[in-house]
Structure 1
């Protein structure tokens, strides 16, 4: 549903922080663009619920279709889109894409970063080792590989990856699930853009794909302005207005 721009802007103006937010309001430049990046088991359409809210606020929005075949290729797909932006740009990533925005977010067009239930490793950090410090989320057990290409089983997708999303919608997302290359599981970033750019983080409190306490640790470490959403891993699908509100805050709107 497309939201009237004036109605949404007025609602936003009355809300300084999303319920559950912690920390002081971050001062950011006013952005003109938003670039959205999807993670594993998904494609660019996973942002479809968020995009209309951002467009209604007058922002130019691009959802990257990254190949999920090689870390350098995936980062390059983000940088190509950033190269086309004119003016300050919010770079937002969901899930695995947190690594992509951490790596590419040093781009001069990027004015702020938004992590949505996302990985946020430090430069050179072994994310798998970091995640191992927390209980393993259920979705991990549902990954099946066909050679070097992995995907979630339907049960794991519906119950663990898309928990909180209405079943008919979750089944559509499962139908367009994008397989990922095994090499991505051992990739490491060489940059941590959150160390130099204003950062925001949306924690999914009912996440069964990335442990919520791990999300909180990463958000606190980067000193991100943080909100907690009563959602599973796909908060951008089940709670698009909450996610959009955080992105608009990162855009200085």
Structure 2
């Protein structure tokens, strides 16, 4: 074989390897979809924010997995009062980080990640079955384009405070968890204020930061196709998990791996 033939075979081989890698990324473990990549900065800090019907302990299965890899992890206690107050709580935690930080949001806190994610210390964003509005977008109007998720019917109000009934929590929020585990999560459910739901983001951090998204294909709290739409719109590196809304608990290994990827 002469040099020209060798070079041609080498290029063909490298092209085949690259193509196989792309296919593996799309259909391999976790069903990873690459999306359009922005440069990643290596991060040693992770800040997590919980959504509605939960508190900071909703990350309890993911945190030890990240700490075991040497990452500094903080779970924000979202006040669930108004969007500006929730964003401020997140920013205060971000201010305390000592370098590049991956900001992770579950469920409603995707609103917080989208707004606070422009913070200079945030190196990447991870959305876990989370809202991901554009700047100034009416998320409620966007969600109405998709079927109403069953959990919405289980929200009850005591005056200004909203929460999920036990039945809806077990069936529609944490449906793939053992009953005992789901009941423990229900016991720490933090009520939210009605005013929280009226807030709109003024930033869309996913337009300027590398973004990752975990879709829950069995979600009964946010419609899975809405999750897919938001992930595709932000060109996020995406995985799909056969999970209820609380993949942070039922699929903590996969969520931890996605965060580690975002941390470079």
Same fold (TM over 0.5): yes
Runs of 4+ in 1 over 4 A off after TM superposition: 15-18
The 1-side partners of 2:205 and 2:131 are apart by 13
CA contact (8 A) 1:98 1:120 kept: yes
Say if 1:18 and 1:246, in contact at 8 Å, map to a contact too: no
Asked if 1:246 is matched to 2:258, the reply is yes
Q: TM-score, normalised by structure 1?
A: 0.92
- TM-score of the two chains, using structure 2 as the length reference: 0.88
Alignment partner of 1:59 is 2:71? yes
Name the structure 1 match of 2:157: 145
> 3-state DSSP class of the match of 1:135?
coil
Task: Identify the structure with the greater helix proportion.
Answer: 2
Q: Give the equivalent residue in structure 1 for 2:34.
A: 23
Equivalent-residue separation in structure 2 for 1:197 and 1:215 (angstroms): 18
* Residue of structure 2 in register with 1:90 after alignment: 102
The structural deviation recorded for 1:66 is: 1.1
Q: List aligned pairs for 1:169-248, cutoff 5 A.
A: 169-248=181-260
Change (3 A) 1:171 1:225: same
**Which structure's CA Rg is the greater one?**
2
Aligned partner of residue 75 in structure 2, secondary structure: strand
User: Aligned pair in 2 of structure 1 residues 190, 18: CA closer, same or farther (>3 Å)?
Assistant: farther
**Given that residues 18 and 242 in structure 1 are in contact (C-alpha distance below 8 angstroms), is that contact kept between their aligned partners in structure 2?**
no
**Counterparts of 2:92 and 2:139 in 1: how far apart (Å)?**
25
Q: Which moved more, 1:149-158 or 1:22-31?
A: 22-31
CA–CA separation in structure 1 for the residues paired with 2:136 and 2:177: 34
* 1:43 is the counterpart of 2:43: no
Q: Report how many residues are paired.
A: 238
Please, what is the CA RMSD of the aligned residues? 1.3
Instruction: Provide structure 1 residue ranges, at least 5 long, that are not aligned to the other structure.
Output: 1-14
- Once the two structures are TM-superposed, the CA of residue 24 in structure 1 deviates from its matched residue by 5.1
Q: 1: distance between equivalents of 2:96 and 2:52?
A: 24
Alignment deviations for residues 217-249 of structure 1 (CA, whole Å, 9 cap, x no partner): 000000000000110000001110000000000
